[in-house]
Amino acid sequence: MNDALSRLEQLCDSNEITTGKSTIGDEKQWNVFMRLDIPAIRQATGETDAAAVMGKLRELKNAM
């Protein structure tokens, strides 16, 4: 687990409500929907275009 995800886990463990407890900078480190340019995310979706990556991520999330 990377440092950003460790901070997210700690944030969630210590706050019942996390709304407003993080910054856009934090979100850019741990929110997969804000990391469309990361090679591992593009590889996982099999897409390269940012809009297609986003669409595939949405499909994967909806299937959970």
* Statement: the pTM of the whole predicted model exceeds 0.85: no
Does 1 score more than 80 pLDDT?
no
Amino acid at 13: D
Amino acid at 56: K
Rounded CA-CA distance 5/11 in Å is 10
H or E element in which residue 18 lies: none
Strand boundaries in the chain, DSSP class E: none
**pLDDT tens per residue, range 8-55:** 999 999 999 999 999 999 999 989 999 999 999 999 999 999 999 999
Under a CB-based contact definition with an 8 Å cutoff, are residues 23 and 29 in contact?
no
pLDDT at 2: 81
Residues near 30 by Cβ (< 8 Å), separated by ≥ 6?
4, 5, 7, 8
pLDDT at 51: 96
pLDDT at 19: 92
